[in-house]
Amino acid sequence: MSRARTSAGPGADRRVPVVLLVPALVGLALLVVPMAGLAWRAPWGRFPELLTSDSVLTALRLSVTTATSATVLSVLCGVPLAWLLARGDFPGRALLRGLVTVPLVLPPVIGGVALLVAFGRQGVIGGWLDRTFGLSLPFTTGAVVLSQAFVAMPYLVIAVEGAFRGADRRYEDVAATLGASAWTVFRRITLPAVLPGVAAGAVLCWARALGEFGATITFAGSFPGTTRTLPLEAYVAIGAGDTDMAIVLSLMMIVVSVVILVGLRERWVNVR
């Protein structure tokens, strides 16, 4: 604010027009006030006690494990998928790119329903898994990982696809003239070049997985220790009238998100 006034250059009115300033402040308030409210109402005295309670620690452990697993899964599948979208030359690529990004705008609950229909015991793939291997996914920790990957992988794919597109392909050409196979070129030239993009995408993916709620509760349910992650724990706390607990969990998640987003904002904006 003060900067907007003092940075006025000679001959130019650099003040922010009121017409822009007022709605900007309203928007800012809309985004920040609820979070500030949480901090205001937080039971700071009971904080350590609540944070170290069994249910929170269990949920935290589960959240970190599942979000990390979902991120690993997303990197292993998402990087090759991003490569395909960026470099592949096949019909329907635009359609495929659209499909991959659908989970970004789809309500996660719908994602959960879709997962249930596909992987549920009566589902197309789930039924086969059940008959063939006796495997049942819904309401297991595996279902949590799958839900998180479904919702979070598109973030990684978009970031990495941008990095692949931004990478100078002439390096790959030079590597090829030096006798490198396509796989060697990918491993030793392309991948190192897009590594910052992969790292950014993975962190974003992890953060999104950590906050996943809708798909998880639909497809995996809310069982303490196996599927009840931090957001579900907060939801349960609210339902049980334990506002203090809900606030503590919320603040915890907000801090993690802020740290990650502030650290990545520059890169994320650039990648887009």
Partner 1 sequence: MSPEGLEMDVVVDRGPFVLDVSVRIDAGEVVALLGPNGAGKSTLLGVLAGLIRPTAGRVALAGVTLDDVATGQHVPARGRRVGLVVQDYLLFGHMTVVENVAFGLRARGIPRRRARESAARTLERVGLGGLDGRKPRELSGGQAQRVALARALVVEPRLLLLDEPLAALDAGTRPAVRAELRRHLAGYSGCAIVVTHDPLEAMVLGDRLVVVEDGRVVQAGPPAEVARHPGTDYVARLVGLNLLQGTARGRTADVGAGTVIALAHEEHGPVHIAFSPSAVVLSPHRPDGSARNVWPGTVQDLETHGDLVRVTVSGALPVLADVTPLAIADLQLAPGMPVWASVKASEITAYPA
Which residues contribute to the site for partner 1 (CB under 8 A)?
168, 170-171, 173-181, 184, 188-189, 192-193
Residue among 106 and 193 whose Cβ is closer to partner 1: 193
Residue among 145 and 167 whose Cβ is closer to partner 1: 167
Residue among 23 and 166 whose Cβ is closer to partner 1: 166
Closest approach of Cβ 87 to partner 1, in Å?
Answer: 14
Closest approach of Cβ 168 to partner 1, in Å?
Answer: 7
d(CA 188, CA 172): 10
Transcribe 108-148 into DSSP letters.
HHHHHHHHHHHHSTTSHHHHHHHHHH----TTSHHHHHHHH
d(CA 187, CA 247): 45
Closest approach of Cβ 189 to partner 1, in Å?
Answer: 6
Closest approach of Cβ 193 to partner 1, in Å?
Answer: 8
Residue among 88 and 225 whose Cβ is closer to partner 1: 88
Closest approach of Cβ 190 to partner 1, in Å?
Answer: 11
C-alpha torsion sign, points 47, 52, 56, 62: positive
Angle at 126 between CA 122 and CA 128, to 5 degrees: 95
Residue among 189 and 207 whose Cβ is closer to partner 1: 189
Closest approach of Cβ 89 to partner 1, in Å?
Answer: 13
Look at residues 162, 163, 160, 190 and name the one whose alpha carbon lies nearest to residue 174.
190
- Asked if 151 contacts 212 with a C-beta cutoff of 8 angstroms, the reply is yes
Residue among 57 and 174 whose Cβ is closer to partner 1: 174
Cα-based torsion angle of the residue sequence 184, 156, 102, 270 in order, rounded to the nearest 10 degrees: -100
Look at residues 259, 148, 160 and name the one whose alpha carbon lies nearest to residue 200.
160
Task: Return the residue matching tokens 């090829």.
Answer: 176
48-54 long-range CB contacts below 8 Å, 24 or more apart? Answer: 50/244, 50/245, 50/248, 51/248, 51/252, 53/245
Closest approach of Cβ 135 to partner 1, in Å?
Answer: 41
Residue among 168 and 266 whose Cβ is closer to partner 1: 168
Residue among 102 and 178 whose Cβ is closer to partner 1: 178
The DSSP 8-state label assigned to residue 167 in this structure reads S
What residues have CB less than 8 Å from 251, skipping those under 6 apart? 38, 39, 42
Closest approach of Cβ 162 to partner 1, in Å?
Answer: 19
